[in-house]
Amino acid sequence: MRRVVLWVVLGVVVFVAVIGLHDWRRPEAPVMRTLIGVDFPAFYCGGEVARHRADPYRLEPLRSCEQRVSPEDATAQCVLPAPYPGPTLALFEVLSLMPYASAKLVWASMLVAALLVTAVTLAELTGFPAFVVLLALAGFEGYASLHVGQVPPIFMALLSLAGYFVARGRHEISAAICSFSMIEPHLGVPACVGMFVWLPRSRAVLALAAAAYAAVSIAAIGLKLNVEYVRFALPAQAAAEVPNMGQWSLTHVLYLFGVDEKSALRYGALDYVIMCTFGIIVGRRLATVLDADEFVLFMPVAAAMLGGSFLHAVQMAAALPAAFVLAARAIRYRPVAWLALLLLVIPPPASWGAHLAGPVTWGWLYFVGVLSLAFVGLRGARTYVRLSGAFAAALASVVLVAAIRAHPVAAAPAPQDCHLPPAVLQPDALASANWEAATRYTNAQVHWSQTRIMLEKLPTWTGLILLLATAVAQGTAPRRRAP
């Protein structure tokens, strides 16, 4: 316990030090003011609106709340939607009982705590030093989510804890924890289904959790709004994200290559089902071959990150638990597994230039973390030689993305300058429809380079492909019990 407390304290010190470095170098945009300042206002307001039994999926009163709590970001025309189901909104209903500033501080603390829990838990599963794991997580799963106030760090902590208890044979406890990962439904579903299929002792708990999930959803927003969410709000949000240049989904890629949007959404949804099924099958094989039952949860989630119809950059970090454990346990092609991990911990390019201290700070976090991870985790001269090749490939990817980010596109129009159609400005318009109109307006004003967009995301996609390929390759190896 003393060791865990030490890692937690060190993690907090590093987190504060990095924020201090940013605020010293960029006093015009201090993190302490902008932290949790992008998406959290929408989530807080979604909770507040739902708590007052109004409709959180419509333009009003969501927009009025956002203008009140975050006037520097809100505008008269645009609204940021809160496209979460009832159980997730229930969490924000609780936070909305506090004043906005207090809720923001509590949410930031929860995200930092979740990051530390993930680091310590993955360290226990892999044998890597917790502080090194924390450094590797700091970019993709850490600050990128903290800056915008997104939910994935909470999901990551729950997924890692569920894997920890599965690895120790505590399937019932793991199922209970995994059920809470449905806070991010399209990430939690693969993990829960993988458990239900392969771990019989988890099924009763998961069935009870499903019933509780439905009950909480009805209690949080009522039956009518649950129906509205499934029939209108969720499809509208999926459609709104098709042209969003911050998307990493197959649907968005197909859209960039000229596929009509309805077909792109169908293909993305089909891909999600296929990749989840693939991950569930491969996860079971890895659990058997590598004697690591946590793959039953981790691999379906990692596989779901390749394609789909709705994926933001911060959600791509959900592949990291599988990448860490496979890098630690791989029997065959371990250098490839390490290369996959190195590529997957590169922070998302969108956060490089403006949100922290730029590529220099990210580079320091990244290289210190993965270099320490590599030399502590592996032994033997031949392994070092092989690993140096993997590290060089990851370094080349970082340099490539840094070079691309050095030539920014034209600035997007300020939100207050947007001119949206009257239909999406009506109080009863879907917030997601308003968001889609704002996205399309921005796309029309800014010249986006498809080549640039693809190259920025290439390291992460390559890491995912290598991770899944290495996972499949383990299936032909003889079974062993890892030390």
Task: Quick: pLDDT tens for 262-321.
Answer: 999 999 999 999 999 999 999 999 999 999 999 999 999 999 999 888 888 889 999 999
Q: What is the pLDDT confidence band of residue 482, given thresholds at 50, 70 and 90?
A: very low
In a domain, 159, yes or no: yes
pLDDT tier for residue 168 given thresholds of 50, 70 and 90:
very high
| Relative orientation angle of helices 295-304 and 450-474, to the nearest 10 degrees | 150
Residue 376, domain member (yes or no)? yes
Domain assignment present for 453: yes
Q: Is 482 within a domain?
A: no
Number of domains present in the structure of the chain: 1
Calculate ∠ Cα 93-96-100, nearest 5°: 155
Per-residue pLDDT at 134: 79
Rounded Cα distance, 47 and 38, in Å: 16
Q: Per the domain annotation, does 483 fall within a domain?
A: no
DSSP string for residues in 372-389: HHHHHH--SHHHHHHHHH
pLDDT at position 483? 36
**Is residue 171 included in any domain, yes or no?**
yes
| Least confident residue range of 236-240, 261-265, 444-448, 467-471 | 444-448
Here the tokens at position 50 are 């739902």
Tokens of 257: 């290559």
Residue-range definition of the domain harbouring residue 209: 2-407+418-474
Report pLDDT for 312.
87
The answer to whether residue 53 sits within a structural domain is yes
58: helix, strand or coil: strand
Residues contacting 107, CB < 8 A, separation 6+: 36, 40, 44, 95, 149
Residue 439 has pLDDT above 80, yes or no: yes
pLDDT tens-digit series, residues 24-69: 666 655 555 556 667 899 999 999 999 999 999 999 999 999 999 8
Angle between helices 450-474 and 381-405 (to 10 degrees): 160
Which of the residue ranges 110-124, 306-320, 325-339, 406-420 would you say has the lowest mean pLDDT?
406-420
Quote the crossing angle between the two packed helices 100-126 and 130-137, to the nearest 10°. 130
Terminus-to-terminus CA distance in the chain, angstroms?
22
Rounded to whole angstroms, the Cα distance separating 65 from 337 reads 46
pLDDT tens digits, one per residue of 373-420 = 555 555 544 554 555 555 555 555 555 555 555 555 555 555 555 678
In a domain, 167, yes or no: yes
